């Protein structure tokens, strides 16, 4: 059904200014980004990014995994939340663009 995500309210969740910026940023980085990286790219507080990612993950627009990554200045790995968008995010964005 066309505009399916507008009707079921998913688009409304994505229409938050920060969330749409986060999703667009993640769509540009297919390998995924972790919270601090998203925060610096989007210019939103890291804790707010974390909250928005929770909302987006609940809605099935973003998938996140926890993993260890090497960071400069740290001998041991640092635990990060790596986030990638799901195919649903692209479809919702498409719906929004069409409706505009």
Q: Which is nearer to another protein, 45 or 99 (CB)?
A: 45
β-bridge partners, 90:
none
Q: Is 56 strand, coil or helix?
A: helix
Q: What is the nearest approach in angstroms of another protein to the Cβ of residue 100?
A: 14
Q: What is the nearest approach in angstroms of another protein to the Cβ of residue 64?
A: 9
Q: What are phi and psi of 79, to 5 degrees?
A: -75, 125
Contact residues for another protein (CB under 8 A)?
9, 12-13, 16-18, 34-36, 39, 45-55, 58, 66, 69, 71, 78-82
Q: What is the nearest approach in angstroms of another protein to the Cβ of residue 35?
A: 2
98 contact partners, CB below 8 Å, separation of at least 6:
2, 3
């Amino acid at each position: 059904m066309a505009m399916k995500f507008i009707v079921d309210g998913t688009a409304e969740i994505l229409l938050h200014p920060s969330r749409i910026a986060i999703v667009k940023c993640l769509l540009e980085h297919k390998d995924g980004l972790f919270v601090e990286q998203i925060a610096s790219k989007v210019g939103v507080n890291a804790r707010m990014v974390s909250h928005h990612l929770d909302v987006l993950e609940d809605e099935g627009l973003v998938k996140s995994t926890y993993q260890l990554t090497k960071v400069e200045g740290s001998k041991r790995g640092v635990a990060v939340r790596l986030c990638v968008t799901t195919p649903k995010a692209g479809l919702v964005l498409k719906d929004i663009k069409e409706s505009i």
